[in-house]
Amino acid sequence: MQERSPTCSPSCVQWKARIATYLAERSKLLNAGGTEADRQAVIQQLRQLRFSPQEQLRVPVYE
């Protein structure tokens, strides 16, 4: 059986960087003022801006 390499492919590295950026932006939004509904709406817009519909299905795993 072949062992998996501990390194990421270039696309994996890009994905992790995009997730890290998104999570940092999301954290700022969660700590901003406004109602919970307002914050969730802005976070949803951020998801739609940063990720394709298919990718958005994976994002909650990282939140």
Consecutive 10-residue averages of pLDDT for the chain (63 residues) = 68 94 94 89 95 96 93
Residue 4 Cα to chain centre, angstroms: 25
Residues 22 and 59: beta-carbon distance below 8 Å: yes
Neighbours of 46 (CB within 10 A): 16
- Of 26, 19, 16, 17, give the one whose Cα is nearest residue 46: 26
Residues 38 and 59: beta-carbon distance below 8 Å: no
Q: What is the pLDDT of residue 33?
A: 82
